[in-house]
A and B are shown apart, each in its own frame.
Chain A
Amino acid sequence: MLGKTANGLFWMYRYLERAENTTRLIETGQRISLTRSGASDEDWTSILQSAGSESGYREHHDVVTKDSAIDWMLRSRDNPSSVLSSIMAARQNARMVRTALTHDVWEAVNGIYMRATEKSKRKIGERDLPNMLGQLRSGTALVRGATHGTMLRNDIYDFARIGTFLERADNTARILDVKYYVLLPSVMAVGSPIDNMQWETILRSVSALGGYRLEFGNAPNPRDIAQFLMLDRRMPRSLAFCVGKIKSNLGYLTQSYGTEPPSCETVARIESQYLSCEIEAIFDSGLHEHIQQLLAEFAALGQQIQSDYRFID
């Protein structure tokens, strides 16, 4: 496989994952502003932070309002991480690696691109938003399904998966980074409406509310949430799960290529150093520092993979 193709696959799936994550963040914000008494436009600041696009937003807007925050995250072309920009970038990469994709996957990517660009021509009204977000999510789900159901399990698939899980790990870590203070044991003011909202935001942002309830019941508690999102290997958006997947996909690549590149060692080290402990140990050593270090490790891992597999010259 060409290094360029590996690069294109990696980014195509990163962007798709990013589009989906941002969609979910918008849904979360929307839900909170509709269901919480006393919700204000300022709640969107933390949503923008979770999406990692607050500073970009501030460059283009003076105040945070619900409408402009949604527009910024959903369809702004000035925002390189908006859902629309991500889908366009994913599709651009898909065109570049067209020969590595099955017909089904290409059509699914092109289909979501066509819908997204068509629907984004005008500002999305309140009434149309849920439907639009739903369509986008089923669009990315279709790409994932087509990928799962039609692609050979070879190096093409491995690079697609590595991109997916690196982006997802990064995304979950970023949400935790913005909200870490809510999870600290010192602010265990259980039951206060503000905290409940914060926790709900976190869980919804990573589609974990249902899973969490199933596992821990209806009384959210910061320790369990932190444990669930960082270390639980059954939770498909947890850091441990994502890193585990990256590790196994790098392992498959090692098997098919017959050589073990440095990134394998890096990912194994990340797993043992940061994600193979009890949550209490992380609290003790500092939750915030822990997450910040992980974010830096993910970025370095991406660089390492890029050079190990000759993504660029």
Chain B
Amino acid sequence: MKTGHSVFDEMWGREDNLRGPYENYKSWLDGEDARQLRAKQREADELFRLTGITFNVYGRAEAEERLIPFDIVPRIISSKEWRQLSRGIEQRVRAINAFLHDIYHRQEIIRAGRLPVEMIARNEAFLPQMIGVKPPGGIYTHIIGIDLVRTDDNQFYVLEDNARTPSGVSYMLENRETMLRMFPELFLRNRVQPVQTYPSDLQRSLAACAPSVAGSKPTVAVLTPGIYNSAYFEHAFLADQMAVELVEGHDLRVVDGRVAMRTTQGYKPIDVLYRRVDDEFLDPLNFNPESQLGVPGIMDVYRAGGITIANAPGTGIADDKAIYSYMPEIVEFYTGERPLLENVPTYRCSEPDALTYVLDNLQDLVVKEVHGSGGYGMLIGPTASKRELAAFRKKLQARPGNYIAQPTLSLSTVPIFTNAGLAPRHVDLRPYVLVSPDGVKITPGGLTRVALKKGSLVVNSSQGGGTKDTWVLDE
């Protein structure tokens, strides 16, 4: 343990020495008037509200639209830090795609004894319907969001690989737009790598994955569950920015072996479907028969090579939290290299020794559901009450295989702007990665989520987290 603060602050380090990437920003900030900045913060909130950048909150009687709080202090990353991160991310993403291909074909990694067969055989995220299917272009996860946390100057960990449907990229883009509108002078003083090309990159990347039946200009569409979905704003935003149609299940049907959308001039085939609908609801004929959100027969078209589904069905197996604990092995197995990005040490409660350890140290650990997401159904030991700990202990004993546990990391902080001036808050980072036969493309920066409550480690927007603009500086 180093001396100084126990928590690494990205602006001040541990010793209260201003870190390089923030120098320029700090000198600007020193010349600013606090009252005016407060007005700017209000202006930002107003901008978001008017633009309609909202999310719907689940678990409420009425689908309510809410704003994700935005903080006006950017999170700044140097180009050197970013280069290192990018290399690690690219390595991990390539490994995940190779893993998915393998797991739905020859399963070499299991034959080689590097991954226990139960991890696949009894895993609900594994889709038997995908066995032997070759997705167009050979890509499984076209869009990935790798969640990273930082604990020190040079120490990053991967917290989660969002290989199904990473959300939040619209906030990355709108946060930048808002900063550009409010503080144009900051972008003259700092050379910040642009993120605005993301929608056109996404469009190109998806089009590059079109099936062979597509013409020279493939038709791309975004599939949304509808306007009541919590991320509807993002679905509409991305479709709009890519200049493609935003479709729902009832706009689509299978016509002459293709998935086609009902236009004012009849049915028109779709080549690439960026779906924001879960596997389970994608096709009532092949999965959940009750689903109103999907397209009957789309899986049959898919298997026959008539459409690209992004991300491919069954990619959930790669961001399953039990599989996560094997990621170092997975990276090594498929790339032949040592992993450049570290995993958070993870205890699989399915293993008796691990379970004993977890039960004995529950108050120091974070326990997560293997298939959960969005910060729901997790236990944060250090802040949990005795009653919560006891309740969770029972759950763990009843279904140990449903949980993994990790030590509570001392997440880095970045200052936020409060009425009392700057105050440090814990953050994480979700960079967005596009994969196509043309290569891997990582947008510089990503979405920084920040726990707005003092001391809190939970950054999820559904649990009171906010966001920040994330800058990667040019050389």
Is A2 touching B50 in the complex (CB atoms < 8 A)?
no
Residue A219 lies at the interface, judged by CB distance under 8 Å to chain B: no
Residue A155 lies at the interface, judged by CB distance under 8 Å to chain B: yes
Bound Cα distance A5, B227 (Å): 13
Is A2 touching B262 in the complex (CB atoms < 8 A)?
yes
- Interchain Cβ contacts under 8 Å between A and B, 29 examples: A1-B263, A1-B264, A2-B245, A2-B247, A2-B251, A2-B261, A2-B263, A2-B264, A3-B263, A3-B264, A4-B248, A4-B250, A4-B262, A5-B245, A95-B52, A95-B227, A98-B240, A98-B246, A99-B236, A99-B239, A99-B246, A107-B51, A110-B50, A110-B52, A111-B50, A114-B50, A257-B264, A257-B265, A310-B266
Give the residue name and chain of the B residue nearest to A101 (CB).
B240
Is A95 touching B262 in the complex (CB atoms < 8 A)?
no
Bound Cα distance A98, B50 (Å): 14
Bound Cα distance A4, B50 (Å): 25
Give the residue name and chain of the B residue nearest to A310 (CB).
B262
Q: Which residues of B from 232 to 266 have beta carbons under 8 Å from A? A: 232, 236-237, 239-240, 245-248, 250-251, 261-266
Residue B49 lies at the interface, judged by CB distance under 8 Å to chain A: yes
Give the residue name and chain of the B residue nearest to A7 (CB).
B264
Q: Which residues of A from 1 to 43 have beta carbons under 8 Å from B? A: 1-6
Partner of B264, one of A95, A310, A313: A310
Is A99 touching B245 in the complex (CB atoms < 8 A)?
yes
- Interface residue tally of chain B, by bracket? 20 to 34
Known contacts A95-B227, A99-B236; A313/B262 CB under 8 A: yes
Q: Which residues of A from 96 to 154 have beta carbons under 8 Å from B? A: 96, 98-99, 106-107, 110-111, 114
Q: Which residues of B from 207 to 233 have beta carbons under 8 Å from A? A: 227, 232
Contacts of A257 in B (CB 8 A): 264-265
Contacts of A274 in B (CB 8 A): none
Bound Cα distance A111, B51 (Å): 9
Residue A309 lies at the interface, judged by CB distance under 8 Å to chain B: yes
Chain A interface SS verdict (over half): helix
Binding site for B on A (CB under 8 A): 1-6, 92, 95-96, 98-99, 106-107, 110-111, 114, 155, 257, 259, 309-310, 313
Bound Cα distance A153, B247 (Å): 23
Partner of B52, one of A106, A259, A313: A106
15 further A-B contacts with Cβ under 8 Å, apart from A2-B262, A106-B51, A257-B264, are A3-B251, A3-B262, A3-B264, A4-B247, A5-B245, A6-B264, A98-B52, A98-B236, A99-B239, A107-B50, A110-B51, A111-B50, A114-B50, A310-B262, A310-B266
Is A114 touching B49 in the complex (CB atoms < 8 A)?
yes
What is the distance, in angstroms, from A38's C-beta to the closest C-beta of chain B?
45
Contacts of B251 in A (CB 8 A): 2-4
Contacts of B264 in A (CB 8 A): 1-3, 6, 155, 257, 309-310
Q: Which residues of B from 417 to 453 have beta carbons under 8 Å from A? A: none
Bound Cα distance A2, B260 (Å): 11
Known contacts A2-B251, A4-B251, A99-B239; A92/B227 CB under 8 A: yes
Bound Cα distance A106, B54 (Å): 14
Contacts of A309 in B (CB 8 A): 264
Q: Which residues of B from 193 to 217 have beta carbons under 8 Å from A? A: none
Bound Cα distance A1, B49 (Å): 28
What is the distance, in angstroms, from A172's C-beta to the closest C-beta of chain B?
27
Bound Cα distance A155, B251 (Å): 18
Bound Cα distance A99, B262 (Å): 16
Contacts of A111 in B (CB 8 A): 50
Binding site for A on B (CB under 8 A): 49-52, 227, 232, 236-237, 239-240, 245-248, 250-251, 261-266
What is the distance, in angstroms, from B264's C-beta to the closest C-beta of chain A?
4
Contacts of B250 in A (CB 8 A): 4, 313
What is the distance, in angstroms, from A247's C-beta to the closest C-beta of chain B?
18
Contacts of A1 in B (CB 8 A): 245, 263-264
Bound Cα distance A309, B239 (Å): 22
Give the residue name and chain of the B residue nearest to A107 (CB).
B50
Bound Cα distance A114, B248 (Å): 27
Residue from B50, B51, B240, B264 having most chain A Cβ neighbours under 10 A: B264
Bound Cα distance A4, B251 (Å): 7
Bound Cα distance A116, B265 (Å): 36
What is the distance, in angstroms, from A141's C-beta to the closest C-beta of chain B?
18
Give the residue name and chain of the B residue nearest to A110 (CB).
B52
Residue from B51, B239, B251, B261 having most chain A Cβ neighbours under 10 A: B251
Is B227 touching A96 in the complex (CB atoms < 8 A)?
yes
Contacts of A313 in B (CB 8 A): 250, 262
What is the distance, in angstroms, from A313's C-beta to the closest C-beta of chain B?
6
What is the distance, in angstroms, from A163's C-beta to the closest C-beta of chain B?
14
What is the distance, in angstroms, from B151's C-beta to the closest C-beta of chain A?
40
What is the distance, in angstroms, from B309's C-beta to the closest C-beta of chain A?
19
Is B49 touching A95 in the complex (CB atoms < 8 A)?
no
Is A95 touching B236 in the complex (CB atoms < 8 A)?
yes
Nearest first, the 9 closest Cβ-Cβ pairs linking A and B are A98-B236, A309-B264, A99-B240, A3-B262, A99-B239, A110-B52, A6-B264, A99-B246, A1-B264
Bound Cα distance A204, B261 (Å): 45
What is the distance, in angstroms, from A219's C-beta to the closest C-beta of chain B?
48
Bound Cα distance A155, B247 (Å): 18
Contacts of B52 in A (CB 8 A): 95, 98, 106, 110
What is the distance, in angstroms, from B248's C-beta to the closest C-beta of chain A?
7
What is the distance, in angstroms, from A85's C-beta to the closest C-beta of chain B?
15
Contacts of B265 in A (CB 8 A): 257, 259
Bound Cα distance A194, B164 (Å): 70
Give the residue name and chain of the B residue nearest to A158 (CB).
B264
Bound Cα distance A264, B245 (Å): 27
Known contacts A3-B264, A313-B262; A95/B245 CB under 8 A: no
Contacts of A155 in B (CB 8 A): 264
What is the distance, in angstroms, from B251's C-beta to the closest C-beta of chain A?
5
What is the distance, in angstroms, from A80's C-beta to the closest C-beta of chain B?
17
Bound Cα distance A130, B245 (Å): 41
What is the distance, in angstroms, from A261's C-beta to the closest C-beta of chain B?
10
Bound Cα distance A280, B433 (Å): 71
What is the distance, in angstroms, from B373's C-beta to the closest C-beta of chain A?
25
Bound Cα distance A2, B263 (Å): 4
Known contacts A99-B246, A111-B50, A114-B50; A310/B263 CB under 8 A: yes
What is the distance, in angstroms, from A93's C-beta to the closest C-beta of chain B?
9
What is the distance, in angstroms, from A13's C-beta to the closest C-beta of chain B?
16
What is the distance, in angstroms, from B327's C-beta to the closest C-beta of chain A?
37
Bound Cα distance A98, B246 (Å): 9
Bound Cα distance A228, B155 (Å): 78
Bound Cα distance A6, B240 (Å): 16
